[in-house]
Amino acid sequence: MIKKNGEINAIEQVQENIDNRSLSNPIVVQSQSESVAIAPKKKRKYWFLFKLLIYFLLLNVSIEIIKNLINGVLYFFEGFPCGARHAKESENKQYVRSMNRAQQAKFGENGAFATSVDDLGIGIKTKTTNFHYSVNTTKTAAFSYGIPNKDTSETVYFGLFHWNKKVELRGYVGAVFLVTNNHTKEISTASILCVTKSPTISQPPNPILNNGNPTCANGTEEVTK
């Protein structure tokens, strides 16, 4: 009888230990319906972020397409200079061409060429954001230079993004020559404007006078527009 009571007490003690362990480490049972309900929420969240990214990329591409279409239409109908290089080089071309004309006017007024950019009297700075300008004169010719700076860059835009990019530009050189008429012996001026065929940061070679006609040097070509 005593042995039986001891066995009962031992069984009760084991049961009590099991109950205590169950309380300290509860087992959470998740039903199949709950598992199925949670999984689609995560998928929907990731799918929403993916669609948001796709819409954002499409927005940027659409902006670029519209910009290119506008530039293309303007270029076709109005000759609008598209691209950063053309926009920046237009300054150089206009400045050197103006320097040529100023040298012709100076010689007509004073019988001599201006020896500096300031002496031209047309308000051109010797250095701008993209180029630096200078002149070189002899007794029979005046040369004007527009040379690209080393650190020229542009801001590139793609949709809502933008970054800086180095721009390689061409150099311009203008020349005004004194030409003597063989019959009347009168002296007149003849000018030419040349541009380098490739980007450079060096001074372009001087044009030459060939049989009384100004000619661009090797590596450059005449600007007619």
pLDDT tens by residue, 130-175: 999 999 999 999 999 999 998 776 666 666 666 677 778 999 999 9
> What residue segments make up the domains of the chain, in order of their start?
40-82, 83-222
The CA-based dihedral angle spanning residues 179, 182, 187, 192, taken in that order and rounded to the nearest 10 degrees: -20
DSSP 58-91: HHHHHHHHHHHHHHHHHHHHH----SHHHHHHHH
Between β-strands 172-180 and 161-166, what pairing exists: parallel, antiparallel or unpaired? unpaired
Which amino acid would we find at residue 156?
Answer: V
Q: What is the CA radius of gyration of the chain?
A: 41
Q: How many residues does the chain have?
A: 225
- Burial (Cβ within 10 Å: 0-12, 13-18, ≥19) of residue 142: buried
Lowest model confidence (mean pLDDT) among 33-42, 50-59, 206-215: 33-42
Please report, as a single letter, which amino acid is at residue 142: A
Task: Give the residue with greater pLDDT, 4 vs 101.
Answer: 101
The model's confidence at residue 100, banded by pLDDT at 50, 70 and 90, is very high
Tell me the mean pLDDT in the region 170-197: 94
Backbone angles phi, psi at 220, to 5 degrees: -130, 165
106-135 pLDDT, tens digit each:
999 999 999 999 999 999 999 999 999 999
Tell me the CB-side half-sphere exposure of residue 218, using CA atoms within 13 A. Answer: 0
